[in-house]
Structure 1
Amino acid sequence: MTAYADETADLRTEAFQTAIDDCSASGGGTVTVPSGTYTVGTVHLRSDVTLYLEAGAVVSPAKDEAEYTDKFVGPDNERIFFLAEGVENVTIAGEGEFDGLGTEFMRMDTPIQGHSNESASHPLISNGPHEARQGDAYLSRTKGTDGWPVAKPDFRPGPMFRFNNCTNVRIRDVTIRDMPAWTLSFHGTEEVDIRGVDILNHLLIPNCDGIALGDTKNVHISDCTIQSCDDSITFGARPDEPTTCEGIVVTNCTLRSSACAIKFGSGTDDTIRDCLFQNIVVQESNRGLGIQHRDSGVVENVLFTDIVVNSNMLPGPWWGKGEPIYVTSVPRDGDTDLGGIRNVRFSNIVARSENGALVYGSEDSDIETIEFDNVRIELTGSEHADEVGGNFDLQPSSVVTPIFANDIAGVHVENARDVTMRDVTVEWDDSDDLPDYYRSGLACEDVDGLLVDGFVGRQAHRGDDADDADDAAAISLSDTTDITVRNSRATEGTGTFLSLSNTDGERLFVNNDLIDAADAGDVASFERSGNALPR
């Protein structure tokens, strides 16, 4: 870079671009950015070139919109910072950093006015009026807007790094901070390795997702720290693309998000499959692990394992209500031919959260083969429970009510088939003032094929005898068929262990320890043996 730089120039776009172009034209190599501060507009990356930032190098975006390409303009007039199109063997690496100046671009003293492309009649809810427990007080500004996402400016750069139809992309070791919009964005790209990257964005700047993978194949993300207002790592699929979003491995990462730490969707117009997430810590996030299915594609063969989640409820117009695990399939709009979700497993998960796990499908959804295995969820109260709690959040959708009041279970499953709950523990934090909307430990509705094996827990509010027990059961099943409950244990304070409503096909109720329950509940219709009944 030194050979191309004009030390008197405020902008270094031309120097960056010329160095990269010359390096590629000569067969490839490394463009080294030495220690110093550099301001650039759009820079185009080329094949066989490594852009290497030495320690002390800081590269920032220009403030003038005219310095950017007009290709791929975003929904709110965003323009791309670094762009790679149809290139191969491209690398960004080094000990330097990219500073996106997000807090300088955004309107940091003004709360968000509306989501992108949202109706003026409900600008903060996607995509219809709500039926929240709070009624007209939901998202009222009269109580203040502290903790809300901030307002967007007339112009901001973004995505900050966009890779379109590329092959062999490597991003290593750099620090990327304070991005004003989407950080690393991949579309139709194959063979991506992201290792040792720190993405440190502001938690109130909307759309500053950490890593967004659209129709991108064979991706390895490891040893990264990602903090973002929007999703830390997100996956999407558009229709009729030549590549499929598949072969994704994410390991050894620490994530924090005001939206969802790991999210599939909401763009799910084509297949997303064969994904593994392991050895991950999710810290102080809104949602933890999420599949937000809204379109005609299929999400399948997904494994989350060895993950610690801490999820907190946030005030304001966020997508999410503090769910540690979130799997939903509802149509985006009236024209959606809804696809499905299948073969998803959550294994060795420890969560502390201010909401329960949710698996929810609309009546026309196709959710099948969902397994929780060795999952422990400890639920607490929230300082924001009165403002936003006690609701299911199904945004974005204009077909079902996007936000509506509902009782909250430790794990709620609705409209799914072939569901396994194996070694699932639900614990309620009695030291907190638990909201009244917390109810059962496990609640299933319209589930066809349910195996509960090794559930440990009770309902939210203690009931030490049948007279004062909460009327919610530890396990509550309605409109559910083909049921087995075995090897489970009612914990101290359980009122009724099992309640059934309009169920069919009760199979086995065996080897369950109900000694600490006030009442076994509706167990007569099962084949029973080896149970320790309440004393």
Structure 2
Amino acid sequence: MNTKRALVGVIMVLAFVMGSAQTVRQFRVKEFGAVGDGKTDDAKAIQKAIDACSSSGGGKLIFDAATTFLSGPIQIKSNVEMHLEPGSVLLANPDESIYKMSAFRTNPGEGTLWIWGEHFENFSISGTGTIDGNGIKFMGKELDDSYELKPFNVLDPRPHVMTLIDGKNIRIHDAHIGNSAYWTIHLVGCNDVVISGISLINSLKVRNSDGIDVDHSKNVRISDCYIESGDDCICLKNRREYEDYGVCENIVVTNCTMTSRSCAIKIGSENMDTIRQVLFNNCIIKKSNRGVGIQHRDEGVVSDVVFSNMIIEGHMFSDVWWGKAEPIYITAYRRAKINHKDANWRFPKGATEGKVGYVRNISFSNIKCYSENGVYVSAESKDKIDNISFDQVDVYINKTTSIVGGVYDRRPANVEGFVKGTTAGFYFDTAGSILVRNSSVVWGPNKAPYFKMAIEKKNLGSLKVQNFIGLSAQ
């Protein structure tokens, strides 16, 4: 009797599982007219499949294995899992004329939409295929350290790979996403996002090719990713164009490896609201022009951020890129007034000059830095940066390139952009309270004449140094 009951139970469970599996409907884009020859634009067919999947209550949108689907702009919808089978490629159409929608609402100067969605929920990307932004096709001439940017009139046609606006319950995992002409994954006003296990590889010569931009978004978890970007790998911000979405908060980044020609991990510079409650842990930064940067230039605030258990390797590149090999960088200066393609969006509406908010409660612990420059903290007044702690932060400085250093990069600020001076292990210029504890500075064998002090300080509210090891370089 007990055996019969057990068998009945097993059968019921199997029936439930099989029934549940059958409820996940599959929508193969080829069945909706996609050709998949890598030459025909399949956007209409793909959109038809997305619409059918969403309107039927949801399901799996499948891109067939070992097939390249060329596509212009497509809009994702709710309850869709975009599944890329092994060897499948979703490739951006290189025809600039088909990209009509600005990625920043009524600001047309910073790229267009390719894969995008707005006011949606329950969207995911899975599989080991590739989403390819075809970025090099949108570039000008290749230079030694970058590509030229093509001139444009009003609308910059370079497409962002993926722009997700006001999305909820988003999951992106395992796929290969990259070769972007502009930003790669842009989360705007999103809530409850998990990005895990992806490879995001852009050309290191493409300017503006950010990896993941977390903009006015909340409850975002990024883990186990490998990212290469000419511009920032992971950037937290609050852009003015989307100010209605409020603060950026509750962000966790862990177990990621990054390489950038600019700043691998950046907070700012666009921040007209609040960025708070942020954790970066267990990350490796390789050969980046700047490792970790809080680049504050607007009226918002940055608070309660923890960086821990990291290896940062700095490397100098040309002035095309942001940074001067600072492994850790915190600055707070009002934004420069410049004649820029989107200058009207840099300041509050009606203002011709901005102001900068504060940066507070920032902690660095167990960080190993290997670079051509040291840690840099600087602000326009002492109240703008306060309560910064460095615990077990070890800085090894050695000249490894022929690019002349002895410079800190404060662009884009209303003061001198490049500040010439001596290279210190820790350089503190105008801030409130700073703590350096259980840390060290070591100079490598290749010493430049501008390598000087282990710690250099100017105009600080207070500096506490405990259990520090380090001598001057000369």
Shorter-chain TM-score: which interval?
Answer: 0.7 to 0.9
- Where do 1:52-63 residues align within 5 Å? 52-63=83-94
In the alignment, which residue of structure 2 is the partner of 1:405?
Answer: 420
**What SS does structure 2 have at the residue aligned with 1:78?**
strand
In the alignment, which residue of structure 1 is the partner of 2:466?
Answer: 453
In the alignment, which residue of structure 1 is the partner of 2:402?
Answer: 384
Q: Does 2:368 align with 1:340?
A: no
Of 370, 377, 386, the match for 1:359: 377
In the alignment, which residue of structure 2 is the partner of 1:202?
Answer: 203
Distance (whole Å) between structure 1 residues aligned to residue 196 and residue 58 of structure 2: 22
Q: Does 2:440 align with 1:425?
A: yes
Q: Give the CA deviation at 1:76.
A: 4.5
Distance (whole Å) between structure 2 residues aligned to residue 164 and residue 64 of structure 1: 24
Q: 2:375, 2:425 within 8 Å by CA — same for their partners in 1? A: yes
Distance (whole Å) between structure 2 residues aligned to residue 275 and residue 285 of structure 1: 21
Change (3 A) 1:65 1:103: closer
Distance (whole Å) between structure 1 residues aligned to residue 277 and residue 438 of structure 2: 24
Q: Which structure 2 residue ranges, 5 or more long, are not aligned?
A: 1-28, 338-352
Q: 1:314, 1:384 within 8 Å by CA — same for their partners in 2? A: no
- Where do 1:223-372 residues align within 5 Å? 223-238=224-239, 240-333=243-336, 335-363=353-381, 366-372=384-390
Q: Give the CA deviation at 1:362.
A: 1.2
In the alignment, which residue of structure 2 is the partner of 1:484?
Answer: none
1:150-198 deviation per Cα after TM superposition (whole angstroms, max 9, x unaligned)? 4346565322100111111111110013111100001111111100010
Q: 1:308, 1:350 within 8 Å by CA — same for their partners in 2? A: yes
Q: 1:238, 1:269 within 8 Å by CA — same for their partners in 2? A: yes
Amino acid at match of 1:147: D
Q: Give the CA deviation at 1:448.
A: 1.1
Q: 2:100, 2:157 within 8 Å by CA — same for their partners in 1? A: no
In the alignment, which residue of structure 2 is the partner of 1:147?
Answer: 145
1:23-74 deviation per Cα after TM superposition (whole angstroms, max 9, x unaligned)? 1000011111112011101100000111110001011111223433424367
- Where do 1:207-226 residues align within 5 Å? 207-226=208-227
- Where do 1:420-499 residues align within 5 Å? 420-430=435-445, 432=446, 434-461=447-474
In the alignment, which residue of structure 2 is the partner of 1:163?
Answer: 164
Structure with the bigger percentage of helix: 2
Of 98, 119, 138, the match for 1:105: 138
Q: 1:158, 1:183 within 8 Å by CA — same for their partners in 2? A: no
Q: 2:373, 2:397 within 8 Å by CA — same for their partners in 1? A: yes
1:438-479 deviation per Cα after TM superposition (whole angstroms, max 9, x unaligned)? 110011111112110011010012xxxxxxxxxxxxxxxxxx
**What SS does structure 1 have at the residue aligned with 2:334?**
coil
Q: 1:105, 1:153 within 8 Å by CA — same for their partners in 2? A: no
Q: Give the CA deviation at 1:148.
A: 4.3
TM-score by length of 2: 0.86
Deviates more, 1:223-232 or 1:28-37: 28-37
In the alignment, which residue of structure 2 is the partner of 1:23?
Answer: 53
Distance (whole Å) between structure 1 residues aligned to residue 108 and residue 245 of structure 2: 24
In the alignment, which residue of structure 2 is the partner of 1:395?
Answer: 411
Amino acid at match of 1:31: L
**What SS does structure 1 have at the residue aligned with 2:40?**
coil
Distance (whole Å) between structure 1 residues aligned to residue 412 and residue 397 of structure 2: 26
Change (3 A) 1:449 1:294: same
In the alignment, which residue of structure 1 is the partner of 2:181?
Answer: 180
Q: 1:148, 1:315 within 8 Å by CA — same for their partners in 2? A: no
Distance (whole Å) between structure 2 residues aligned to residue 452 and residue 341 of structure 1: 21
In the alignment, which residue of structure 2 is the partner of 1:64?
Answer: 95
Distance (whole Å) between structure 2 residues aligned to residue 2 and residue 72 of structure 1: 28
Q: 1:201, 1:228 within 8 Å by CA — same for their partners in 2? A: yes
Distance (whole Å) between structure 2 residues aligned to residue 316 and residue 294 of structure 1: 19
Of 126, 131, 147, the match for 1:93: 126
Q: Give the CA deviation at 1:149.
A: 5.1
Q: 1:408, 1:440 within 8 Å by CA — same for their partners in 2? A: yes
Distance (whole Å) between structure 1 residues aligned to residue 90 and residue 229 of structure 2: 19
Q: 2:140, 2:147 within 8 Å by CA — same for their partners in 1? A: no
Amino acid at match of 1:220: R
Q: Give the CA deviation at 1:77.
A: 6.3
Change (3 A) 1:365 1:159: farther
Q: Which structure 1 residue ranges, 5 or more long, are not aligned?
A: 112-145, 462-535
Aligned residues: 421
Q: 1:219, 1:248 within 8 Å by CA — same for their partners in 2? A: yes
Of 60, 74, 80, the match for 2:113: 80
Q: Does 2:44 align with 1:14?
A: yes
**What SS does structure 2 have at the residue aligned with 1:231?**
coil
Report the aligned-residue RMSD.
1.7
Distance (whole Å) between structure 2 residues aligned to residue 237 and residue 86 of structure 1: 18
Q: Give the CA deviation at 1:75.
A: 5.1
Distance (whole Å) between structure 2 residues aligned to residue 156 and residue 312 of structure 1: 31
1:205-226 deviation per Cα after TM superposition (whole angstroms, max 9, x unaligned)? 0011000011111100000000
In the alignment, which residue of structure 2 is the partner of 1:3?
Answer: 31
